[in-house]
Structure 1
């Protein structure tokens, strides 16, 4: 809630839209209603103007009651707005500095109401970005439709395939993990196809033929076949001297084998079991909630001081609700079920709160969750340093930079000692740096009187 008594402190942004509205209810209000509902929610202020310095100021609406009545008439008309997600308390008249204005609080729509569109046409579906309201692309519209369904994305039965397209080496590794987690499980004696049916990886089609589900394909398929169904499918893990990508052709490229490989590398650098378990939850959460139709694929980056997990799609619940726990709404419910069976992931909504708790217990900087739109992506950053370590790391990086600079200077001097002169191009190639870095090093050496530049553009050591 904004402080209306200090309106000048606010600016229009992803969550605040100001409209003068002195000439009546502006039509653009409906684009903003749609965009707020389909993105993060927000506040529409009628009777508020933006000055040249971007500050907000009230103007007196002559008849706000009439505008409110007109607003309710339109928002409740299914031919003009696809759904009314507002309650009576969300639209109110307020007095600010003697001016009467209207405050409309638009919540983020629940996924089963999306996409929220206006003017009776799904083409008029909007979202909000840093640049304001924009009309959704067909891909964004379809993504909201997929998420609106009661059944999760991965429940789809893929009748164009049979179970032979699955990688049964991956299936057998998964079954070994089930045995480790649940010895003598009731499904342990089942044959592979019956086991896959029980966990939702296959389903029965016409004439009793078994077909993989989308979850089964993602979890146990091969990258080549997965991409036939998910053209944007990509899994990418990166660290300093190692990279694992799903389309390399030398491994299955499926979600289960990716999880196994990535967690195997992450746990080697994590200090204790509680942190490993928390990182495991973060990795599973990333894979379970990815929109595999979306752009950019799943990207996991491990650095000395952080782990960054990024996936296509947006949160299906509010970020604040995800951090507080108690409710779970996975994009891929069958994938979650499969991970749960090997004691990975949490279906009760406590996974993300446990990650934040574990990081706090270790005195590390708090994890951050960032959502972006156009394209939709979620980034979960896990710092691997204490709150005060950042300053130390920056100082160390400064020392490392000084050492590298000293080494490059010595290389230039050594080269010009062994050669009568050297060109700029030769020295840049020798150093293996950008031309701008070579120029700075040479300029410093010239200023210090160590190197001279000849009339024909060659460098040499001064006598």
Structure 2
């Protein structure tokens, strides 16, 4: 059977049932638009819903006629703006003993979004999105996201109300040093800052020929207050929550006011923080400019960070968040998938939301994998940790979440360079002031989270206790009453 026993039939984000005993139902086009603008999905014609959440297989009276009606309408520009269907996208299924018509609606390619259909009540073309089992009209934020994604280089447009002073000079100098180390002898190295930034896409000419920051240039090199002036909800947020003993052990946000707050500086501020947790220090070239990675795990984590920054949508609730937890590293960015999730994981297709931003990062050796980034991360994680990353998409607002699970017990050479002997650990805890997880981790050559997990177990068994001194937690052997 197509979806299992009749009594277990249920709709979801990618499945919609509709009654079609006589003809093609008119509301099929709302679902067609919603699926095309979201993740894609199956519309199954011939299954009724006599009461909410209860479905009954009734079949389609004349399946061939209903198929013909669908194809005629989907190709009618007065009914549907964009036909995203594949040639074999409609079929007849007889697994329930009656004819059902199954319409496989693919996720629309970015240049075809938003997919609008004619709404007879509104007397205009309307775009829908799928939210769980509901087809709903796009709100303003969702429309802006779909329209932004449809533009081939939306992040290269000039922001005419700004000039080069909106960009941070120190960030530009750091970037140019990396560029020179990554591309020694490149002719652009001799250019002025303005000409150099124009060539890499960080500046563009307005209608009068004046150089202005592009959206990509503002995001990569801008002062945070200038970015927020143009994108009010812009926020970069890094949090280390790995100890589990506080809201966070370390935090870096773009709105703190004590650093530039742009993407380039965020990337290079967060990298060493994650490096320290992974116990794999960064390797640099002799001139201190170009960067190389010491192992596959850190390479994968840096690629995930770059992906979150490059593929984020910065036009709405545009937060990029990196959270280090006890057993995973989580990357979140605003926006939705541009290609099917499985296609993105398989690799070979590079379709960045912000191609100019990717170009800027790629010029210094960051995020230059040409579509193989996710594929490489998945292969690395399965090899080193024995588990696959988790890539998911949520809505309202649209957000992509990428989780890298870290199981210290199977990490092998992925940054875990020793084992924890419990007797020795307890001896360290007998020091007068106790010992922190970081100190013990350095002693054993393991990650701090491995010590934290062991300490939690010992504490739950009543063997050790912890107390906070400043920002650190010190573990001591529990004193027994005499």
The TM-score bracket by the shorter chain reads 0.7 to 0.9
Deviates more, 1:109-118 or 1:283-292: 109-118
Rg comparison, structure with higher value: 1
**Residues 132-160 of structure 1: CA deviation (Å, up to 9, x unaligned):** 21211011012101111122x21111111
Give the alignment's Cα RMSD to 1 decimal: 2.8
Q: What's 1:300 paired with?
A: 322
CA contact (8 A) 1:305 1:383 kept: yes
Instruction: Give the Cα–Cα distance (whole angstroms) in 2 for the partners of residues 12 and 395 of structure 1.
Output: 44
After the TM superposition, which residues 113-192 of structure 1 pair with which residues of structure 2 at under 5 Å, given as runs? 113-119=112-118, 124-151=126-153, 153-192=154-193
Q: CA deviation at 1:343?
A: 0.7
After the TM superposition, which residues 346-385 of structure 1 pair with which residues of structure 2 at under 5 Å, given as runs? 346-385=368-407
Instruction: Give the Cα–Cα distance (whole angstroms) in 1 for the partners of residues 392 and 463 of structure 2.
Output: 34
Instruction: Give the Cα–Cα distance (whole angstroms) in 1 for the partners of residues 173 and 303 of structure 2.
Output: 23
Instruction: Give the Cα–Cα distance (whole angstroms) in 2 for the partners of residues 83 and 21 of structure 1.
Output: 23
SS at match of 1:298: strand
CA contact (8 A) 1:297 1:311 kept: yes
SS at match of 1:96: coil
CA contact (8 A) 1:220 1:255 kept: yes
Q: What TM-score does the superposition give when structure 1 sets the normalisation length?
A: 0.81
SS at match of 1:99: coil
Instruction: Give the Cα–Cα distance (whole angstroms) in 2 for the partners of residues 8 and 396 of structure 1.
Output: 49
CA contact (8 A) 2:156 2:204 kept: no
SS at match of 2:349: coil
Classify 1:404/1:229 alpha carbon distance in 2 versus 1 (closer, same or farther; 3 Å). farther
Q: What TM-score does the superposition give when structure 2 sets the normalisation length?
A: 0.78
Any gaps of 5 or more consecutive residues in structure 1? 409-463
Q: What's 1:340 paired with?
A: 362
Instruction: Give the Cα–Cα distance (whole angstroms) in 1 for the partners of residues 462 and 50 of structure 2.
Output: 51
Q: Does 1:320 align with 2:342?
A: yes
Instruction: Give the Cα–Cα distance (whole angstroms) in 2 for the partners of residues 219 and 75 of structure 1.
Output: 42
**Residues 162-199 of structure 1: CA deviation (Å, up to 9, x unaligned):** 11221111100111111222222222222211111111
CA contact (8 A) 2:384 2:410 kept: no
CA contact (8 A) 1:5 1:96 kept: no
Instruction: Give the Cα–Cα distance (whole angstroms) in 2 for the partners of residues 281 and 249 of structure 1.
Output: 27
Q: What's 1:433 paired with?
A: none
Classify 1:221/1:5 alpha carbon distance in 2 versus 1 (closer, same or farther; 3 Å). closer
Q: What's 1:421 paired with?
A: none
Instruction: Give the Cα–Cα distance (whole angstroms) in 2 for the partners of residues 241 and 179 of structure 1.
Output: 36
Instruction: Give the Cα–Cα distance (whole angstroms) in 2 for the partners of residues 404 and 126 of structure 1.
Output: 58
SS at match of 1:118: strand
Instruction: Give the Cα–Cα distance (whole angstroms) in 1 for the partners of residues 103 and 371 of structure 2.
Output: 31
Q: CA deviation at 1:207?
A: 4.5
Q: CA deviation at 1:402?
A: 5.5
CA contact (8 A) 2:48 2:55 kept: yes
- Paired positions, count: 406
Moved over 6 A (4+): 387-396, 404-408
Q: What's 1:214 paired with?
A: 215
Structure with more helix by fraction:
1
